[in-house]
Amino acid sequence: MVDGTLIPVEEHKVTACSKNYRRSVNIQITIRAKNRRVIAVGDSWPGNRNDIVVFRATMADQVAGHRLLIDDGAYRAAPEVITSKAKSKPFAKRRARAEHAIARLKDFKVLRQHRRRGDTINDTARAVAVLHNLKIDYA
């Protein structure tokens, strides 16, 4: 599953205005729905941008070998991603698991409000993903 999320960042150099006039970056995250493990984290993109644009610019080359990327209608133009034609219950359950995994990533305070230098957001997001995977494995 691929999904994007907004991370508020204090430094204005790497952000753009998005929801509610908050400065943030958009990050794409690939999650295995079966066990909610994070597979890949894309680079940050300034502001509130369409998911497909950010996916193509930051993650398309990372997930090129994976054939079973499933996601919502925001990714219909991407040939790497399979989207559901009709609203089905199993598909909705998988989507909910991906959303819950992103919510668990945002449990880490450093992703709820990034107060470090702006160029460290990519490293921070990847470090939180590793901690999230360790928490799943050993908790």
Q: How does pLDDT run across 85-130, given as a tens digit for each residue?
A: 667 787 788 888 888 999 999 898 888 887 777 778 889 999 999 9
Residue 34: the pLDDT is 85
pTM for the whole thing?
0.85
Q: What percent of the chain has pLDDT over 70?
A: 91
Cβ atoms 36, 101 nearer than 8 A: yes
11-26: average pLDDT = 76
Residue 38 has pLDDT above 80, yes or no: yes
The confidence band for 67, taking pLDDT boundaries of 50, 70 and 90, is: low
Residue 26 has pLDDT above 80, yes or no: yes
The confidence band for 68, taking pLDDT boundaries of 50, 70 and 90, is: low
Q: What angle do CA 17, 43, 20 make, to 5 degrees?
A: 20
